[in-house]
């Protein structure tokens, strides 16, 4: 690899010390490198990084920040066929493999092509009000459907491949990829799935029933979650959240249809540790 593009979360690298360290090291080794600060949101086709700014001959995109920054980059650059490598400047990351102390060894591996590329499954979600599409987006980690406003539970009606599955009151529902199984879903008791698997994980958040549990579905399945009525036939208000970023408002009767995306995120893998070993180390340090 010789041509790089850096996306930096300025909140995590306020003085741009790590960014400049990476840029200088690459330049000293005969590489070209452009830098983009991912600290301003935009409305439209992208939120943080304009995919049209990525040079066509870029070999690798280095994302400096944490898992959240990497998720944002993956969503913005979903149609850019360039692998991503996360450099973690936060506390703990499952996606961002490299930390501050291992930046130079990591860059050396990129320069000598000593790496593998993992492809990660993504999800798309389309929100309908009757037959009208009112919003849609893509997620690498998860799509969360939850309440908006007052602290009260919401009724959810769930369908798989248009067949009724169940209904329950809960704070929310998480529909996650294997990559997202170590995120929000894990924190509410969901199972961990190896990131190289192709599955869809559906996990309730604080359900008001003993019978609601996580469900793992094949990637071909299509999940529909409908926002139900309130306790006294009230009109409920909810939100569909994509990787904790894009929010699409929902009301009673609205439904979101979630399926596997055609696009996938390509992640650079530098170490040869198994997923089990990585998981053990992360959980030991958490």
Catalytic positions are: 67
Residue partners of 205: CB distance under 8 A and separation at least 6 = 144, 146, 170, 171, 172, 173, 174, 188
174 within 8 A of 183, measured Cβ to Cβ: no
CA torsion sign for 269, 273, 275, 279 is negative
Instruction: Please give the Cα distance from 164 to 166 (Å, whole number).
Output: 6
Strands (E) in 49-177, as ranges, are 60-65, 84-88, 98-99, 116-129, 132-139, 142-147, 154-160, 163-170, 172-176
């Amino acid at each position: 690899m010789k041509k790089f593009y850096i996306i930096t979360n300025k909140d995590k690298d306020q003085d741009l010390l790590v960014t400049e360290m990476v840029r200088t090291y690459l330049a000293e080794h005969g590489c070209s490198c452009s830098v983009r600060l991912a600290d301003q949101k935009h409305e439209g086709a992208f939120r943080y990084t304009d995919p049209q700014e990525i040079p066509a001959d870029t070999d690798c995109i280095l994302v400096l920040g944490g898992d959240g920054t990497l998720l944002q980059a993956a969503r913005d650059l979903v149609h850019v066929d360039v692998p991503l490598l996360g450099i973690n400047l936060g506390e703990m990351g499952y996606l961002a493999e490299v930390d501050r102390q291992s930046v130079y060894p990591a860059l050396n591996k990129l320069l000598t092509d000593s790496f593998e590329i993992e492809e990660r499954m993504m999800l798309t979600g389309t929100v309908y009000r009757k037959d009208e599409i009112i919003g849609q987006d893509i997620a690498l980690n998860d799509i969360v459907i939850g309440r908006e406003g007052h602290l009260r539970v919401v009724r959810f009606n769930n369908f798989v491949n248009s067949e009724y599955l169940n209904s329950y009151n809960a704070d929310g529902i998480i529909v996650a990829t294997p990559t997202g199984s170590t995120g929000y879903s894990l924190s509410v008791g969901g199972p961990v799935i190896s990131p190289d698997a192709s599955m869809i994980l559906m996990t309730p958040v604080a359900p008001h029933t003993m019978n609601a549990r996580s469900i793992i579905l094949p990637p071909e399945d299509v999940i529909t979650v409908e926002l139900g009525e309130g306790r006294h036939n009230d009109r409920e208000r909810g939100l569909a959240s994509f990787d904790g970023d894009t929010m699409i408002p929902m009301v009673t009767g609205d439904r979101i249809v979630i399926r596997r995306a055609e696009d996938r995120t390509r992640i650079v893998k530098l170490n040869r540790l198994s997923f089990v070993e990585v998981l053990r180390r992360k959980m030991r340090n958490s």
